[in-house]
Amino acid sequence: MKKYDLASIMKRAWEIVKTMVGDTVAKLSYALKQAWAEAKAPADEIVNGWNLTKLEEAGANRWTKYGKDRVYLSRIGDALMGLELDFYKSGNVCGAWLNNEKISNRESFRVGEAYSRAYIDLASGKVYECVGRYADDFIDKLNATFHA
């Protein structure tokens, strides 16, 4: 029977909780399930230099159809870039911070533009549809975090 390091599983669960929004009890429940799944899972899946396991854990979506294999990055962009948004009840942005510095709402849209349609083509290993003035910064952080 395989022995698990319970302390590292709990630490990983709390790391996951810190990236989520909402009720702490629900977050912890989900995070513990995720941490246990990671502990029981085989080694990381690396495709063309990209760590797919880490990407999917962070929230990226893998899409495989029509002979194409892609990982879409729009869900991991805010956390990766350090963008925090506050919203009115209407859904409009009322405040934005980039790496804990206040920025304008318009600038927050420019940051989001860099990764809103970005994806990795796993056949070539290249990042596509990454545009705008923050595109290079996003790609640098993506490579540093998820490239094997």
DSSP codes of every residue in 37-102: HHHHS-SPPEETTEEHHHHHHHT-EEEEETTEEEEE-TTTHHHHHTEEEEE-TTS-EEEEEETTEE
Measured distance CA(18)–CA(10) in Å, rounded: 13
Residue 43's pLDDT band (cuts 50, 70, 90): low
Residue 102's pLDDT band (cuts 50, 70, 90): very high
The string of pLDDT tens digits covering residues 81-99 is: 888 888 899 988 889 898 8
Q: What is the mean pLDDT of residues 26-31?
A: 86
104 contacts: CB under 8 Å, gap ≥ 6: 96
SS3 147: strand
83 contacts: CB under 8 Å, gap ≥ 6: 77, 96, 97, 98, 108, 111, 112
pLDDT score of 98: 86
